[in-house]
Amino acid sequence: MKPLLLLGMLLCCLTAVAQPVVPLIPAHDPVLARQDGAYYMFCTGPGIAVWSSRDRQHWTREKPVFATAPAWATQAVPGFRDNHIWAPDISYHNGTYYLFYSISAFGKNTSCIGLATNKTLNPASPDFNWTDRGRVVQSVPGRDQWNAIDPNLMRDEAGQPWLTFGSFWGGIKLVQLRPDLTAPAQPEQWRTLARRPHDPKYDDAQPGDDAIEAPFLFRKGDYYYLFTSWDYCCRGPQSTYKMVVGRAKSITGPYLDRTGKPLDQGGGTLVLQGDKNWFGVGHNSVYTFDNADYLVFHGYDAADKGRSKLRIEPLRWDAEGWPAVN
């Protein structure tokens, strides 16, 4: 072998070894938005945890959305503790960023979905200021057979806003919102998009065994795709979370899986599940950046004591239009 060629190979190997290892950042229920070349991630945490990045690999911790809990939230949900806010959803429309979030007591449907708005996501901007708009949707034990957490906003072909949400109980719900997004449109009409069998031995104050939650709607081609998470999160190595999907021509459904089974009858096509390296992958969102689609979710890292971390994977579509992860 020529000396120069050998030297080049050695330098290449040394360069590869010297590359920094990008740490996987802690995250639970992550969602993303991009503004002016910067990515902002919002996820479950005290006051809603926020991170920023220029390359989706190296992340900087930002200040949370809420330094203290919204006053209405502590009054509406007695079991709400420590300003720990769940499962945000970020979107942009007509010059405003809309951040929905969940206030709840764990394992109960004493829950609310709130809304905050901002003109910018850049903390250095003079226009940066989160304004809380208060409660949008609330679930009450004994009244509602659904749980008002895990919100996701989607606009239909006509630009009308719809909010999908839900966890356990009666499954995934959909309701049209007013133009300002602060309350359901009148007259209120609540639709069920997906659910799993519910054991009647559980009353409406218990979640039961119908483990479905974390809806996210993504439009691709002629279809609305509804992603949900099945089974159990938040248990480290014992987490069984997995992501499934169905699709519909209309935002209101019916959503069907690959076999044609309706999602509101327990249907769902598997997208990704955990393995020996990552437990309980789920609570995903989906985005298009630079003409490529990505699946954003959390998983429990077996190499780090089962801690929950951010995962971003390219999302491809097969010949029949179903999403898959390599």
- CB atoms closer than 10 angstroms to residue 19: 7
DSSP string, 65-105: S-SS--HHHHHH-TT--TTEEEEEEEEEETTEEEEEEEEE-
Task: Check if 210 is active-site.
Answer: no
Q: The tokens 């519910």 sit on which residue?
A: 198
Cis peptide bond upstream of 200, omega within 30? no
Tell me the CA distances in angstroms from 321 to 243, 246, 247, 254, 262, one per residue in order.
17, 11, 10, 17, 17
Task: Check if 62 is active-site.
Answer: no
For the record, the structure tokens of 317 come out as 């579509």
Set 89, 150, 210, 213: catalytic member = 213
| Contact present, 114 and 135 (Cβ < 8 Å) | yes
Instruction: List 174's β-bridge partners, or say none.
Output: 164, 191
Q: The tokens 């971003």 sit on which residue?
A: 312
Instruction: List 131's β-bridge partners, or say none.
Output: 117
Compute CA 52 distance to the chain's CA centroid, rounded to the nearest angstrom. Answer: 17
54 residue type, one letter:
R
Which of the residues are catalytic?
29, 213
